[in-house]
């Protein structure tokens, strides 16, 4: 079975990991960090991803997308409150957000797919084989639409997503594998844009999630924004400058806020400094850890409510938790560690790199799925209750939150009117009483044969699979026939749209491949030109002048081809040179051998 990689598709950074003889390892490209910033920028040379794209945040803010994870599976109305913070333009089509980049608009899964593709390329270059399968992590508190959007992103990137797993659970797998822990653990995962808390029981290789909770809109980004807002207010007051009309400066403020926050995890005070527009000079400000704590305390407190709820839902008390594991870059903040320790009355573990542990866990899960590991098994739960709308707009729960997945529920439906041919079903997710207060997942119409009221009996099975994604099937109990159900997702791409995006991405991929081939051919040609010139200089005297002329002709032909756009022409001219220079190479080898043998005894030569 081909290799499956584990991918942490994060709000701010993404990573890919693989299993190396029983040990999960993250993959880093040549001399680069393993983390790929989850940033996509449209430049004059096309779309770029990662560190190079991150540089465009301040240079090219309107065409540089970051934190796209916040928009996965969302409608524009869902994110209305924070639109002002994003310099790029968001629109909506068919209940799905679209991000404008130059002439084209992209859905969040398409942008995420670009990040996934970058990770895929890295893994392929590192492992020297093509990668087509992956396990991708999502926040535990992601709803069905957000999970589906992540799966779509994988498909668009040309990856078969064998499993969507929850980030805190992935972290527990990596942690459990390393520490061989038994008992009850709490995983506190505060990432760039999301917060999760999961309570797990670890016993003889079984990782049973007891409860999970969280907030899919709370993370490091929000801390940065608070600091940035403070800077912006002060800049307005001191310099009379409103930076909100300068998207490039807004990004610079946000990035400086992030850097100051990171420094304050190790230091007690730091200095933030920013160039101002309109020749207003520099804004410089000292920020102390106490000041940061005062700014962030409300956000940190917001994570504690879900923690208490998760512990309660597990049927435990905070003191029953044996170990607390910290995951996500934001848990480096001393205030976070302090509050978590106070809540559980235990010093939290942070031995594993909080940035990498999720990707490592995804690699472990990938290994389980490929049959490499059989002693570990993850039993996860669904984070939100699933139900349907009933009379009076009330939600009737079918599968409660924190139910172990796979989970299924059956419901029988009938008609109220003679000859009625359809029953409309509205699927919801959430904990609120009224349908309208919960997340609408999908609507579908159940086909019913025209019969007297109450006679049809259609059994609908709602199944949440191991990915936490809903599948619906219906069966006519009278005829025993199953019926396929076309579900229209409330906030997601339709199957046809995903299909089209996959096709588009192949088209882009074809462009990418030929572009890559050209670049590589030019690089190789450049190297060959240099080495051949050097050989001519060093050994030209060893061969006939006619041969030297032939090599020179071939060299100028390659130089001309290198300026063209055809990689095959370049390769052909390179082959010509190798052919023409064969004599030169042989002559030089002979010469160097001769040189090397001079002054040596025969016995030395044979012995060495």
Give strand pairing partners of 101.
Answer: 104
Site for another protein in 133-192 (CB under 8 A): 162-163
Tell me, by CB under 8 A, how many residues bind another protein. 42
Shortest Å distance, C-beta 418 to another protein? 13
Taking the complex as a whole, the smallest distance from the CB of residue 7 to another protein amounts, in Å, to 17
Among 43, 291, 408, 535, binds another protein (CB under 8 A): 408
CB of 423 to another protein, least distance (A): 5
Asked about 290 being catalytic, the answer comes back as no
Give the span between the Cα atoms of 90 and 67, in whole angstroms.
13
524 noted as active-site residue:
no
Shortest Å, Cβ 206 to another protein: 5
Q: Does 3 bind another protein (CB under 8 A)?
A: no
Residue of 371, 480, 546, 599 that binds another protein (CB under 8 A): 371
Question: Which residues are CB-contacts of 456 (< 8 A; sequence separation ≥ 6)?
Answer: 413, 414, 415, 448, 449, 476, 478
Q: Which stretch binds another protein (CB under 8 A): 88-96, 396-404, 550-558, 580-588?
A: 396-404
Interface characters, 432-451, with another protein (x: CB under 8 A): --------------x-----
CA distance 359 to 167: 8
User: For residue 604, how many other CB atoms are within 10 A of its CB?
Assistant: 10
Taking the complex as a whole, how short is the minimal distance between the CB of residue 208 and another protein, in angstroms?
8
**Options 79, 121, 274, 379; binder of another protein; rule CB under 8 A:** 379
Nearest CA to 458 among 429, 494, 415, 518? 415
Selected binder of another protein within 184, 415, 490, 505 (CB under 8 A): 415
From the list 110-118, 178-186, 319-327, 367-375, the region that binds another protein by CB under 8 A is 367-375
CA distances from 14 to 36, 41, 50, 321, 444 (A): 5, 16, 9, 30, 35
Catalytic residue among 144, 167, 224, 380: 167
Q: Which of 8, 224, 355, 389 is catalytic?
A: 8
Given the complex with another protein, which of 166 and 216 has the nearer CB atom? Answer: 166
Question: What one-character DSSP code corresponds to residue 579?
Answer: H
425: contact with another protein by CB under 8 A: yes
Could you say whether residue 65 binds another protein (CB under 8 A)? no
**Which of 144, 152, 189, 367 is an active site residue?**
189
498 binds another protein (CB under 8 A): no
Min. distance of Cβ 408 from another protein in angstroms?
4
Helix axes 144-156, 495-539, angle to 10 degrees: 40
**What CA–CA distance (Å, rounded) separates 566 from 219?**
47
423 belongs to the binding site for another protein (CB under 8 A): yes
Which range touches another protein (CB under 8 A), out of 35-43, 49-57, 217-225, 374-382?
374-382
Q: Is 215 in the site for another protein (CB under 8 A)?
A: no
For residue 285, what are the β-bridge partners?
A: 272
Q: Pick the binder of another protein from 158, 318, 334, 406 (CB under 8 A).
A: 406
Contact characters 184-213, another protein, x per CB under 8 A: -------------------xx-x-x-----
Site track for another protein across 231-270, x = CB under 8 A:
----------------------------------------
Count the residues in the chain. 608
Nearer to another protein, 42 or 399 (CB): 399
Q: Which of 50, 427, 361 is nearest to 196 (CA)?
A: 361
Smallest distance from the beta carbon of 230 to another protein, in angstroms?
A: 36
Which SS3 state, helix, strand or coil, does residue 325 take?
strand
Nearest to 461 by CA among 470, 479, 473: 473
- Shorter beta-carbon distance to another protein: residue 467 or 505: 467
Tell me: does residue 389 bind another protein (CB under 8 A). Answer: yes
Which of 304, 379 has the CB closer to another protein? 379
- Find tokens 């969302």 and name the residue: 74
CA distances from 282 to 248, 270, 274 (A): 15, 16, 6
Going residue by residue from 464 to 483, which x/- string records binding to another protein, judged by CB under 8 A? -xx-----------------
- Compute and round to an integer the Cα radius of gyration of the chain: 30
Task: State yes or no: residue 410 binds another protein (CB under 8 A).
Answer: yes
Cα separation of 555 and 550, whole Å? Answer: 9
Q: Angle CA(563)–CA(117)–CA(471) in degrees, nearest 5?
A: 150
Residue with the two structure tokens 């410089």: 284
> Which lies closer to another protein via its Cβ, residue 113 or residue 446?
446
Binding of another protein at residue 362 (CB under 8 A)?
no
Asked if residues 234 and 285 have their Cβ atoms less than 8 Å apart, the reply is yes
Q: How far is the CB of 228 from another protein (least distance, A)?
A: 37
Cα distances (angstroms) measured from residue 441 to each of 18, 72, 486, 513, 576: 33, 14, 13, 38, 62
Q: How far is the CB of 205 from another protein (least distance, A)?
A: 9
Q: How many angstroms separate the CA atoms of 502 and 121, rounded?
A: 17
Supply the minimum distance, in Å, between the C-beta of residue 365 and another protein.
Answer: 8
**Residue from the set 405, 474, 570, 584 that interacts with another protein by CB under 8 A:** 405
Among 84, 268, 391, 537, binds another protein (CB under 8 A): 391
Closest CB 474 distance from another protein, rounded Å: 12
Cα–Cα distance, 168 to 187 (Å, whole number): 6
Is 407 near another protein (CB under 8 A)? yes
Residue 488 annotated in active site: no
CB 561, CB 525: distance < 8 Å: yes
Strands (E), 102-205: 104-106, 133-138, 160-166, 183-190, 195-203
**Is residue 8 annotated as part of the catalytic site, yes or no?**
yes
Residue 57 near residue 64, CB atoms below 8 Å:
yes
Q: Does residue number 334 form part of the binding site for another protein (CB under 8 A)?
A: no
Question: Which residue from 219, 198, 185, 196 is spatially nearest to 69, judged by alpha carbons?
Answer: 219
- Assigned token pair, 467: 């990915």
- Count other Cβ atoms within 10 Å, centred on residue 335: 20
Element (H, E) at 77: none
Q: Which residues are identified as catalytic?
A: 8, 69, 167, 189
Sites of contact with another protein (CB under 8 A)? 1, 162-163, 203-204, 206, 208, 365, 368-371, 374, 377-379, 388-391, 396, 403-408, 410-416, 423-426, 446, 463, 465-466
């Amino acid at each position: 079975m081909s290799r499956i990689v584990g991918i942490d598709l994060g709000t701010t950074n993404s990573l890919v990991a693989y299993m190396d003889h029983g040990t999960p390892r993250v993959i880093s490209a040549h001399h680069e960090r393993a983390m790929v910033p989850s940033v996509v920028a449209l430049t004059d040379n096309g779309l770029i991803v990662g560190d190079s794209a991150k540089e465009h945040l301040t240079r090219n803010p309107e065409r540089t997308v970051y934190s796209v994870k916040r928009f996965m599976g969302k409608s524009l109305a869902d994110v209305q409150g924070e639109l002002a913070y994003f310099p790029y333009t968001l629109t909506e089509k068919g209940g799905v957000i679209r991000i404008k980049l130059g002439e084209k608009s992209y859905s969040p899964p398409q942008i995420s797919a670009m990040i996934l593709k970058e990770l895929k390329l890295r893994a392929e270059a590192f492992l020297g084989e093509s990668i087509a399968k992956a396990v991708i992590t999502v926040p535990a508190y992601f709803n069905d639409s957000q999970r589906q959007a992540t799966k779509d992103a994988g498909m668009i990137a040309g990856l078969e997503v064998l499993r969507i797993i929850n980030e805190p659970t992935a972290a527990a797998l990596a942690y459990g594998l390393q520490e061989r822990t038994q008992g009850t653990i709490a995983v506190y995962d505060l990432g760039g844009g999301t917060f999760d808390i999961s309570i797990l029981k670890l016993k003889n290789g079984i990782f049973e999630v007891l409860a999970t909770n969280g907030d899919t809109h709370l993370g490091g980004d929000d801390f940065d924004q608070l600091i940035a807002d403070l800077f912006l207010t002060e800049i307005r007051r001191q310099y009379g400058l409103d930076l909100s009309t300068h998207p490039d400066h807004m990004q610079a403020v946000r990035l400086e806020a992030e850097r100051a926050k990171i420094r304050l995890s190790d230091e007690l005070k730091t200095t933030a400094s920013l160039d101002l527009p309109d020749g207003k000079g520099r804004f410089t400000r000292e920020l102390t850890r106490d000041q940061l704590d005062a700014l962030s305390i409300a956000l940190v407190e917001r994570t504690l409510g879900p923690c208490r709820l998760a512990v309660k839902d597990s049927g435990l008390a905070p003191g029953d938790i044996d170990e607390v594991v910290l995951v996500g870059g934001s848990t480096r903040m001393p205030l976070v560690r302090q509050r978590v320790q106070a809540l559980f009355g235990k010093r939290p573990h942070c031995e594993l790199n909080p940035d990498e542990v999720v990707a490592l866990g995804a690699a472990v899960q990938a290994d389980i799925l490929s049959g490499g590991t059989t002693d570990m098994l993850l039993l996860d739960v669904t984070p939100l209750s699933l139900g349907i709308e009933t009379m009076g707009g009330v939600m009737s729960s079918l599968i409660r939150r924190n139910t172990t997945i796979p989970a299924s529920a059956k419901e029988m439906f009938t008609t109220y009117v003679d000859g009625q041919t359809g029953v409309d079903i509205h699927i919801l997710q959430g904990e609120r009483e009224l349908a309208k207060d919960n997340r609408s997942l999908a609507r579908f119409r159940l086909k019913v044969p025209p019969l007297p009221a109450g006679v049809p009996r259609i059994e609908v099975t709602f199944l949440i699979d191991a990915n936490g994604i809903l599948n619906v099937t219906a069966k006519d109990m009278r005829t025993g026939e199953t019926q396929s159900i076309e579900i229209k997702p409330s906030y997601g791409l339709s199957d046809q749209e995903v299909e089209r995006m996959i096709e588009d991405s192949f088209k882009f991929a074809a462009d990418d491949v030929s572009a890559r081939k050209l670049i590589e051919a030019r690089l190789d040609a450049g190297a060959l030109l240099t080495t051949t010139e050097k050989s001519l200089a060093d050994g030209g005297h060893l061969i006939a002048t006619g041969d030297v002329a032939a090599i020179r002709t071939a060299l100028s032909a390659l130089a001309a081809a290198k300026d063209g756009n055809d990689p095959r022409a370049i390769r052909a001219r390179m082959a010509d040179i190798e052919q023409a220079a064969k004599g030169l190479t042989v002559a030089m080898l002979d010469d160097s051998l001769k040189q090397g043998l001079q002054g040596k005894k025969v016995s030395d030569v044979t012995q060495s």
